[in-house]
Chains A and B, each alone.
Chain A
Amino acid sequence: MSIAIIDYGSGNLCSAAKAFERAADMIGLNADVKVTSDPDDVIKAHHVVLPGVGAFADCRSGLAAVDGMTEALSETVLKQGKPFFGICVGMQLLASHGLEHGSTDGLDWISGDVVAMEPQDSSLKIPHMGWNTITQTNEHPVWEGIPTGADGLHAYFVHSFHFLPQDPSQILATCDYGQTVTAMVGRDNIIGTQFHPEKSQKLGLALISNFLKWIPS
């Protein structure tokens, strides 16, 4: 099985690649994890991962600057329906618009906007940085066997903006940080997490393993 982790000049690709390798090992999958900026690799891959850290607009222009990548993503993910995992800003890019430093068009695969977090409690720091628990809001196979809720495992977050999809059924999980924060979105063969599964120890590796086992219907 081949997993393409898209390199568009953003993010800590080394740890994402290592986490996918480890998660595949854990479930006995022989995975070929490739960090790549070649659209052909994305077309050929069984699973596609879009990481991303930094500002929305920078990531969007970084992705657009890789010749043929947006087209390859549309072909593989939207037409062929291969499993897709967006991480952090890679998840935010699924939105219609990002409202960080002005409005920037996203991929618009999931309608909605990426907006600034505004916690009710002014003592809460921005960025939302650290370990938080997760509330599943809609069932999804990737959460199978993972304890969530107030007594569940924790996920590692670092972000100041979050994604508000128009259709609430596309929010798969939230967390609480002085407001309800979108932690995971998805539809069909697409999922995306605001937190970093590659940095979330047990929860992260279990989630990635489930993603690799998942056969979207």
Chain B
Amino acid sequence: MLKARVIPCLDVKDGRVVKGVNFVDLKDAGDPVECAKAYDAAGADELCFLDITASHENRDTIFDVVRRTAEECFMPVTVGGGVRTTDNIRDLLKAGADKVSINTAAVTRREFIREAAEKFGSQCIVASVDAKRVSSEDEAPKWEIFTHGGRTPTGIDAIEYAQEVVDLGAGEILLTSMDRDGTKIGFDIDLTRKIADMISVPVIASGGVGTLDHLVEGVRDGHATAVLAASIFHFGEFSIGEAKQHMVDAGIPMRMDATR
């Protein structure tokens, strides 16, 4: 049977992990490849690198990170951040990425999803949906797409957008609640369930994880097939193994190969 996935996400800037990673026995906690190896050994189901490199000149460093990771980790790797052209995608896949996540470029020009999916297959095109609740408490819930890390509103309805990118060929949705990101109060379950129940492709829930129960809620209540988190793993609050065991204890089938 298919298992739910736990995906740690590493923010990479100019080839180094930012936000800090606090693993025991890690030679260089700033090296994304060292972190990737630690997560691989711990039983992470996939890895996600988010390239937040500020300057165009430093884009090449992410290729090096992906290449070195692919030499060490035999698991799926997704790379997001700054993916704007089909050449960007080809370069990342060539370096060893399995999937790329597309955000702003698709919000600006939806057809980019179609072009990317036609060229590389839907299986490697993840559409990143950054949504923020724009309705007030007493209104029917409504979410809007935001870009630039949640700073720029677009006026686009998040639910409609998710359906649209799937129709254009996205093979997976990475759904981030901008309200919850960094809050540690849990996923936006209403939003996650609405989108997961509506679209045909898998949804990765993201934004707001502070406890292991939040991971359970994302799958059980939000109907996501994967959960993504950063800080709870980076700062050593919980290990991947603890997270997965907690989900198993809550009745969610998980892959526990790492402990074998």
Contacts and interface: CB of A to CB of B under 8 A. Distances in A.
Nearest to A122: B200
A24 to B, nearest CB: 13
B2 A131 contact: yes
Contact of A14 (B67, B76, B200, B223): B67
B37 interface: no
Interface stretch (A36-44, A73-81, A103-111, A198-206): A198-206
Interface stretch (B53-61, B116-124, B142-150, B207-215): B116-124
Contact of B225 (A129, A154, A160): A129
Contacts of B255: 131, 154
Contact of A130 (B3, B70, B260): B3
Interface string B37-58: 0001000010000000000000
Interface string B122-134: 1110000000000
B166 to A, nearest CB: 10
Contacts, number: 102
A199 B123 contact: no
Contacts of A131: 2-3, 5, 45, 255
Given A19-B74, A159-B123, A201 B257 contact: yes
B74 A199 contact: yes
Q: Contact residue range for chain B?
A: 35 or more
B1 A156 contact: no
A142 interface: no
Q: Is chain B's binding surface mostly helix, strand, loop or mixed? A: loop
Contact of B3 (A147, A154, A196): A154
A48 to B, nearest CB: 21
Contacts of B2: 124, 128, 130-132, 157, 177
A125 B201 contact: yes
Interface in A34-84: 53-55, 58
Interface of B: 1-5, 40, 45, 67, 70-71, 74-76, 93-98, 120-124, 171-172, 200-202, 223, 225-226, 255, 257, 260
11 contacts: A53-B120, A126-B201, A130-B5, A130-B45, A130-B225, A132-B3, A153-B257, A154-B255, A158-B76, A158-B123, A204-B74
Interface of A: 12, 14-15, 18-19, 22, 53-55, 58, 123-133, 147, 150, 153-154, 156-160, 176-177, 196, 198-205
